Each structure stands twice: as structure tokens, then as C-alpha cells.
Amino acid sequence: MGKIKTVEFVSPAHPDKLCDQISDCILDYCLQWDKNSRVALETMIWHWEIKVTGELTTSANITNTEIIDCVKQVLEDNRYEWNNFSVETNIVKQSPYIAQWVDTWWAGDQWIMVGYATRETETFMPFEYEEARTIVRDLWNKYELARDMKSQVTTEDGKIKTIVVSAERLLTEEILDYLKKRYWDWIQFIVNPCGEWEWWPDADAGVTGRKIVVDNYWPQVEVGWWAFSGKDPSKVDRSGAYFARYLAKNILKEREELQRCKVKIAYSIWIKDPVMVSIETDQGELIYQWKTITPAYIKEELNLLQPMYYQTAKWWHFGNWFNWDK
């Protein structure tokens, strides 16, 4: 048996991803009016209720009205009737103990971030990851009724072996027709194994930050175990992960003999420089000799203080040509 890999991908209308998008939509609103906004927000959906909680310090004029507008935008973008939901908020200001350090762009907590790049695809993302994302994206764009859906792609020695698709409100025949046109018939297709289904908020819950592995690369590449959405770029668990990807991809651009690169960056609370920078490639480790990687440097290098985070939560953070992918 050869080397087998499996990757899952979910649509933007998955309940967890709805929560990610709501948290990031609020973040974008704050950054639009105050680039120094400090945002750490969590969203939960359950039984037609949406709750937004966390810490928010900003000069932007954001009230429950603006938060409800963000909820409305996200739900409508993902083909849901927003007026069926109630919205509650419980938001306080950022802890002054954290603020005293992140205001000067030092690390406000301890984190370990991972960045990865591979030449397997044009996006420098793993092959099976891109295939799983393409299936969901194609079905999402082709079938207007599609909302919540998942794909799962299994490869063996770099060739697709099995594809699993579970899609809400789509006929099995339609999905099979799409898959057979895109892939060879000999691939094993498993489509809606439980039959047709429809997601309603009283059947499943959604929470910000529950799709960490999907937000990164694939199960075979370790992640920093930190969620991205709802956090402004002073949170190094988000901006540091973006910079790790940026560094990994640029190393492959400069070193044509390399096929894969994984970068790990670790920070300590109240220390501005990382306590570790590790670079692993398919040809061994590289010694890191470059500029400092302070949170302030990452902010400037990647131009992170612009409102763009809603889109990162919609079709994922890497391989979509955001600043850290350029």
C-alpha cells in the first residue's frame, strides 16, 4: 500500500464557518474606522440564536445595530434568511494587562505558529487540499440551492482514490454528474451516504474557531492549535501564522531545488521577538538568517491593518492570494 492522505473541506455556509465569518465581518468593520482596533470576538449559532461575545476596544462607532448588520450580511451571503435569527451580544473592553503590551506591538501571549508551502499546486497548497476545496467551490457556484456541504478527498501516492461529498439540498445525481465530468469514472465516489438532508440551526451548532485544521493545510501538517477568525492582527496567533506561510512560500520561490517547506515560529508573552524560528524542508533544516519578526514588523510587511478578514474566513486563509500569499 502506498502513502495515503485524506483532506476535508467545508463550505462557507457550514455553521462553524458562518460563525468565523460573522466574527471577521465585525473585525473588518472596526478596522475600517479604526486601524488600531483590538478585537477578540467569538460567535455561536444554536436554535436560531446567534450570540457574539468577547473583547473589543475601538474608536469605531459600533453598536448592536452594526453587529446585526454584519450578521445580516453574512447570512444573506450564504443563502440564509437572516430575520429568522435572534442576535445577542456580550462584549467588554480588552484586558488592560494584554493591552499594555499589544499596544506597543509586542506579543500578548505565548503562541506557536506553523506555515507550510509545497510545489504540488500553483497555489503552493497540498494537492488533496486544493482538490477538496475546488469540489466545494464548484458546487457552491454551480448550484444556487447549495449551502452547507462537505467534501473529503483521499489520495494514494499522489493520485485521487476516493471522493466523499455531503451536500445540503442537492440531488445525488447532480453531484455525481459533476464528479464524473471532472474526474475519471474509476475513482470511488461516495455522495450523500445518508441521503438528502437540510441543515437547520436547531439540528447543529456553530462556533468560531472550530475548523482549525481546515483553516490551515491538511491533517498531516501540524497546526498551531490557534483559531484565526475574530482576532485583529496584534494577535500573533493569527498574524504570525500568516507570516509563517509567507516565509515558507518565499523560501520555495528563492530555492528552486526545494519542493516543500515548513516554518514554525514561537512567541512568549511580553517578548517582542520570537523565541524560536524553525525551517524544515524536504532537503533538511535551514538556518534562519533574516530580519527580526516582531508583531510590528509583520503588521507592516503584510499590510494587515486593512479590512479584508471576512474574505479569509469565506474561502480560507491560504492559497487565495492574500498579502501573505504574494
Rounded CA gap, 100 and 66, in Å? 28
How does strand 4-10 pair with strand 149-156? antiparallel
Give the model's pLDDT for residue 210. Answer: 93
- pLDDT value at 289 more than 90: no
**Grid coordinates belonging to 154:** 483521499
Angle at 217 between CA 272 and CA 322, to 5 degrees: 65
Instruction: Say which residues have a Cβ less than 8 Å from residue 121's Cβ, sequence separation at least 6.
Output: 127, 130, 319
Residue for grid cell 471532472: 182
Rounded CA gap, 21 and 173, in Å? 31
Tens-place pLDDT, residues 237-257:
999 999 999 999 999 999 999
- pLDDT value at 9 more than 80: yes
Report whether 94 contacts 232 (CB < 8 A). Answer: no
Tens-place pLDDT, residues 78-120:
999 888 899 999 998 866 656 555 556 666 678 899 999 999 9
Tens-place pLDDT, residues 149-161:
999 999 999 999 9
**Grid coordinates belonging to 147:** 449551502
Give the model's pLDDT for residue 103. Answer: 59
Rounded CA gap, 27 and 298, in Å? 18
How crowded is the C-beta side of 187, counted as CA atoms within 13 Å? 21
Give the model's pLDDT for residue 318. Answer: 97
Amino acid (1-letter code) at residue 196: E
Kindly list the structural domains of the chain, giving each domain's residue range(s) and its CATH number in brackets, ordered by start: 4-10+126-191 (3.30.300.10), 16-102 (3.30.300.10), 111-121+211-325 (3.30.300.10)
Strand partners for 9: 151
Give the model's pLDDT for residue 272. Answer: 81
